[in-house]
Amino acid sequence: MYKVLITHEVSEEVKERLRSCAQIQEVSGREAILAAAKDADAIHGNGGLLVDEELLGAAPKLKMVALASVGYNNLDTEAMRSHGVLGAHTPGVLNDSVADLAIALMIAAARRVCELDRYMREGLWNGSEGKAFFGLEVSGKTLGILGMGRIGQAIARRAVAGMGMKVLYHNRRANPEAEEKYGAVYVSKEELMERSDFVVIVTPLTEETRGMVGEAEISRMKPTGILVNVARGPVVDEAALTKALAERRIYAAALDVFEEEPTPADNPLLRLDNVVHVPHIGTATQEVRDKMAMLAAENIIACLQGGTPPTIVPEHRR
């Protein structure tokens, strides 16, 4: 019988689904995973699971690694291919969850929700603040989206239908569907940074996108510009962003992701009052996490039963 390792918390329903074709073993921690991988046929993990030569070498029977994550930058897809191991991820089921958070972060940063929440908690509200509480309007403004995939389109739909925003986007290629449905306009990255009131990053982390928003890009933003990152931390040069925020060269940032996660307590971004920070919660609802875990399970079952897994990573598609 096949053996599947589960390296993160999943529901009983997911476990039962996997038991329909395999024995399961729940493990956590790198050393335990390496030890258990010696006779594993598949691994059910999350986006934090590192699949490299070390793990592949310890798992001679391995056929698939299925992540309950849309991002798969921790998969060494070339090494996996050389070992005959398929990779799968879970696009689609999390689009709305991440899009909802992106919109929430935009509004929170523009209207200074977290900063003013702290102000009230500290007992400072005295009724004479006047313009001290002013923030920025969101409705009718220009939204720039870096990465017009499924999540980017879900954000555009909310921004246009709900807030009457104009949408610019930059992508590897033009997206006619987004242009037709949401009036999105394809522009260069430089033009997007210059014209947008809000820049939302939803691009995957690849060698091409690592550091794609750095000092040069941030310097093009409006003084009233707000940067929102719900993609991956290393897409943004964190030091350059911190400097621009501290010097008030841009208005604010709202971040769900960081270069190092968990981010250290002494990260200077955490001391800035013009930053909204949340701890990588883009998909952090029970409903979405359950859907992601089940889709990862279905990828494994299809693979072990000789079928075609529904959401293989692009690099492993034939």
Task: Return the DSSP state at 263.
Answer: P
- Residues 49 and 203: their CA atoms lie apart, in Å, by 20
Grouping H, G, I as helix, E, B as strand and the rest as coil, residue 262 is coil
Please indicate whether residue 232 is annotated as part of the active site. yes
- The first and second tokens of residue 128, run together, are 């004479």
Domains and CATH numbers, the chain: 2-92+286-316 (3.40.50.720), 95-277 (3.40.50.720)
| pLDDT at residue 41 tops 90 | yes
Q: Is the bond preceding residue 262 a cis peptide, omega within 30 degrees?
A: yes
Query: What rounded mean pLDDT belongs to the chain?
Result: 97
Residue found by looking up tokens 């290393």 in the block: 234
Contact between 38 and 16 under an 8 Å Cβ cutoff? The reply is no
The DSSP annotation for 292-310 comes to HHHHHHHHHHHHHTTS--T
Go through 174-188 and write b for each residue having 16 or more CB atoms within 10 A of its CB, e for each that does not: ebeebbeebebbbbe
- pLDDT grade for 99, boundaries at 50, 70 and 90: very high
Given 115, 280, 289, 298, which residue is catalytic?
280
Burial (0-12, 13-18, 19+ Cβ within 10 Å), 262 = exposed
| pLDDT at residue 318 tops 90 | no
Q: How confident is the model over 1-18, as pLDDT tens digits?
A: 999 999 999 999 999 999
- Residues 140 and 166: their CA atoms lie apart, in Å, by 7
Please indicate whether residue 170 is annotated as part of the active site. no
pLDDT at 131: 96
Grouping H, G, I as helix, E, B as strand and the rest as coil, residue 30 is helix
Average pLDDT over residues 151-174: 97
Given 9, 215, 261, 287, which residue is catalytic?
261
pTM of the model: 0.93
- The first and second tokens of residue 86, run together, are 């398929």
Residue found by looking up tokens 């009052």 in the block: 273
Percent of the chain with pLDDT over 90: 99
Q: How confident is the model over 42-61, as pLDDT tens digits?
A: 999 999 999 999 999 999 99
Element (H, E) at 2: strand 2-6
- pLDDT grade for 166, boundaries at 50, 70 and 90: very high
Burial (0-12, 13-18, 19+ Cβ within 10 Å), 113 = middle
Contact between 14 and 297 under an 8 Å Cβ cutoff? The reply is yes
Given 44, 112, 150, 232, which residue is catalytic?
232
pLDDT at 265: 97
- pLDDT grade for 283, boundaries at 50, 70 and 90: very high
Q: Which long-range contacts (CB under 8 A, 24 or more apart) does 213-221 make?
A: 213/146, 213/237, 213/241, 214/240, 215/240, 215/243, 215/244, 217/189, 217/190, 217/193, 218/193, 218/244, 218/249, 218/250, 219/244, 219/249, 220/190, 220/193, 220/194, 221/193, 221/194, 221/196, 221/249, 221/250
- The first and second tokens of residue 246, run together, are 């501290």
Angle at 64 between CA 92 and CA 22, to 5 degrees: 100
Contact between 197 and 143 under an 8 Å Cβ cutoff? The reply is yes
Q: How confident is the model over 204-249, as pLDDT tens digits?
A: 999 999 999 999 999 999 999 999 999 999 999 999 999 999 999 9
Q: How confident is the model over 120-132, as pLDDT tens digits?
A: 999 999 999 999 9
Please indicate whether residue 318 is annotated as part of the active site. no
- Residues 46 and 71: their CA atoms lie apart, in Å, by 9
